[in-house]
Structure 1
Amino acid sequence: MLESTKTQLLLVDDDDELRAAVGVMLERSGFKVRAASNVNDALKLIGSDHFDVLVSDLHMPGQGDGLTVVSAMRHANPRAITIILSAHPEMKAAAAAILSQTDDILVKPTTAGALVALIRDKMKAVPATPRITASLATILEEETLRTISDWLVRVDNDRLVLSVDLDDSARCAHLPQLFADLVHRLRQPLPLGSRALVSPAAVEHGSSRRRQGYTAAMMVEESRMLQVSIFQTLQNNLHRVNFSLLLVGVMAIADEVDSQLAQAMAAYVKEEEVDARPLVA
């Protein structure tokens, strides 16, 4: 039995019988085992939980393979032990290339004892330092410029939005304050169901977009792409996220972005109504 807290292990293999048998043996050896039968399920588990060890089959049906899972684990937890299982002995000949991504390769069939011994041997070389987490507010604050750059790339690939010709500074002029508002909202959370705070910057953004020639559909699409970029930033920093606060934080982010869009749209419509008034002599 492993000391104190059990080591979290993710086992990935499409062979149901092998996965069940190896899982039982690993549990008996003191590991807390989560299992996945394909790459997609493995990626979901990596995105929602923290693992110290990954044991994955190399070849699996569908999109991706064991190295796809290893890459995701490396991103989510760079300190995790990653071990690939392969039914092909010739994979040992290609070990140099594969080992640049994973810690070791075991050729099937292998014994549970050999697998456990290998895991424990690899874990001895990993310093027992705690996982460093960060709040969503800190991550977004640190990654503001990178997220805005990602958003600009998405906008540059959208023909609808690009039909209005603006330079990058004018296109994203509203975003620094929007991110500041997001960070403030995350650090000073509102009770669920509360009306979001009024943002003068969002109002000005709506009026500006009207003067720049945007349609309402363009504004909605820009906001949608912004949420995608924000959530991509969070995905890229999953290894730092405090998962106990993740769901509430994501809900606050979505609510704040939607609220600012609503305020911008209200200002946009008001500007439109002013433009539509008849001139008085």
Structure 2
Amino acid sequence: MTVEWVADSDADGVDDAIDLCPGTPANTEVNDYGCPIDLPGCDYTTSTVTLASTGGSSGSAVSTRYVLADNSGVILQINPTASFTGLSGTATYMALALTYEGAVSNLQVGNLLSDVSASCMDWSNALVFKACVQAPVTCDYQIGQTITLRAAGGSTGPGTRTSYVLTDATGKLVKVSSAPSFSTADLTAGTYMAYALTYTDDNSIANLVANGTNTISQVTASCLAKSPALSLTICGCPTAVCVPLIVSRVR
């Protein structure tokens, strides 16, 4: 029997020879490369991350590529500079520099870091970072524009009535209209929901008032049909209001 001693300086279960993140804190969950699978906080909130790179070999026969991999070691990007673009969502990444001479094999997006090989090559230690990139907000309307919607179907004729309701994200009635349109001049930026309410015209409708407290779920009638909610995102700043100064004599 041959007993081989394996060095694991940070006791993370990954041999020092293949550990791309030496010195990992104790009790950290790591991947096959000895790097943290997740980080508690966000290092970047932008879709482009540019890193600093120093040292390494140089020469006419030496090539360097900067590699971005996910937290399991799958290659996502390969670039000639230490900059990565198109990041989205929240994820933990590994950034590395690969220096090599001659031909290199399997240095391709979708491959694992461990698949890459060359007759002479060296990986840098991995820089692990977490990016939290919010999806861009798509605005349906800007404050000051009129919300104009299209309504189709529903009951019509004597004995029925339809009202159109705009609520905030919590369901509170913001506006009530007899037509499928709403002014945004007095609104703040945010997400709103639009509904069409069809009900019997017998004065049984209750709580259909935008008084700051009524919610869409509190609206009742002897016969009431509510359309599915239409989500609307409104962006911008409130319309400026010019208030004149009052000038008076100091006595």
**TM-score, normalising length: structure 2:** 0.25
Higher fraction of strand: 2
Determine which structure has more spread, i.e. the larger CA radius of gyration. Answer: 2
Structure holding more helix per residue:
1
TM-score (norm 1): 0.23
